[in-house]
Structure 1
Amino acid sequence: MIFGKLLPKDGNFFELFNEHGKYIAEGGRAFVQMIQYYNTPDLREKYAREVDNAEHAADKITAEVNRLLHRTFITPIDREQIHGLINAMDDILDLLQDSSEVMALYDVQHVNEDVVRLGEISVKCCERVQHAVSLIPKLSDPAVAEAALKTCEEIDRLESDADRVMRSAMSRLFREEQDTRELIKLKAIYEHLETISDRCEDVANLIEGIVLENS
């Protein structure tokens, strides 16, 4: 389908994508701040609430996109692409919230440099997802389509960075951690954090497909 087709008066898919993308970036930034200030309980709780707020707000947008799909005869891109993209985006915030909750449920008392590094990669991925999503309405412009593909490549590289950091962290954990309970906790946290970049890569792959089919 061609970009720029008129949408029904009750909504705009691209605007909803863009709004959701902003919540992904906000949630990612709040999540990494929660990690950075983890040893300050008041700030840790403050940023955890911000992650929750971003996830709840994004859930409403996801629901609105799915409702809009049922009411719309002509969509700007394929229905399957819309459905797949909004749900893949929602998975990112779900996982940010899950990771925050896991750290609280496991009663983690401190975070190490590996957790901080994985969190920093996660927020970079989230911000690049927001940027890539913001370009979707203008993909008919070859320069914009190229920029979107470049951003998706950046997300792929960040996901590879997260893989390397996690492998190194796991190796160090099993060599050095003597407390079995701490080992189990940190292993689960590493896996959650690395999966955030995986979900961002899923969105990047979907956007690459949209670019190739619609630009």
Structure 2
Amino acid sequence: MGIGNIFKAFQPKDKVFFTLFEEVADTLVEMSNTFHEGLKDFDINDDSLLKKMSEYEHKNDNTTHKIYTELSKNFITPFDREDIHHLTSALDDIADYMYASSKYIFLYKSPKNNSFAELTLLIQKACLEIRNAIINLKDFKNIQAVKESTIKINSYENLADDVLSNAMIQLFETGDAINVIKVSQVLSYMEKVTDKAEDVANVIDSIIIKYS
């Protein structure tokens, strides 16, 4: 019997960790959808988008706490305890940085920038692939699909780097120092979301190398 099959035999029957990971992934998808759509008609004097993002962030915090609680209670876990901790932390970071992005847009009354939509679309796509990866990681049932998702997440992060670089060049060319400060901060936080998504992909890649 291979190590993967041996490991599966000792997995918790209630699959609580995967249920919670999928809950987190669903929240991230919903949050990224709200962020992307909300910026299309964003009013800098309307805090409704910020409130929605805050609600998602708190919801994700609650699920994250449940995972850590289960980790302290369960001796047998679906994969290495340290990997569960790393994956949970990385997923939580995505929600934190998405919320931070929306917060700074509102607090700075940041003017619209075409790159906002490009970055939120990449964030949205990355979150969808994270959910696909987690769903297919369950029981290690479709490792190829997991790998395809992590590759896409990495490519989205690379694209986000390019978007940020081009946006910063255009921003500095405006010569508006205040605008540069406001917009660059937001762009930086948005790009950081894709960095955190890549962190999730890297943890998942590490897990499938160990146990598939």
TM-score by length of 2: 0.91
Q: What secondary structure does 1:210 align onto?
A: helix
**1:1-215 equivalences in 2 (<5 Å):** 2-3=7-8, 5-7=10-12, 12-39=16-43, 45-108=47-110, 110-139=111-140, 141=141, 144-175=142-173, 177-215=174-212
CA contact 1:4–1:137 (8 Å) conserved in 2? no
AA paired with 1:192?
A: Y
Q: CA deviation at 1:6?
A: 4.4
AA paired with 2:40?
A: Q
CA contact 2:45–2:106 (8 Å) conserved in 1? no
Q: What secondary structure does 2:8 align onto?
A: coil
| Unpaired segments ≥5 residues, structure 2 | 1-5
Q: CA deviation at 1:4?
A: 5.5
1-structure distance, mates of 2:65, 2:55: 16
Q: CA deviation at 1:119?
A: 1.4
| Unpaired segments ≥5 residues, structure 1 | none
1-structure distance, mates of 2:210, 2:98: 30
2-structure distance, mates of 1:4, 1:52: 40
Deviates more, 1:66-75 or 1:153-162: 66-75
CA contact 2:172–2:180 (8 Å) conserved in 1? yes
Q: CA deviation at 1:8?
A: 7.1
How many residue pairs get aligned? The number is 207
2-structure distance, mates of 1:5, 1:151: 26
Q: CA deviation at 1:41?
A: 5.4
Which 4+ stretches in 1 moved above 2 angstroms? 3-9, 39-42, 45-50
Deviates more, 1:122-131 or 1:90-99: 122-131
AA paired with 2:191?
A: E
1-structure distance, mates of 2:130, 2:188: 20
CA contact 1:31–1:48 (8 Å) conserved in 2? no
Q: What secondary structure does 1:135 align onto?
A: helix
Q: CA deviation at 1:101?
A: 0.6
CA contact 2:12–2:77 (8 Å) conserved in 1? yes
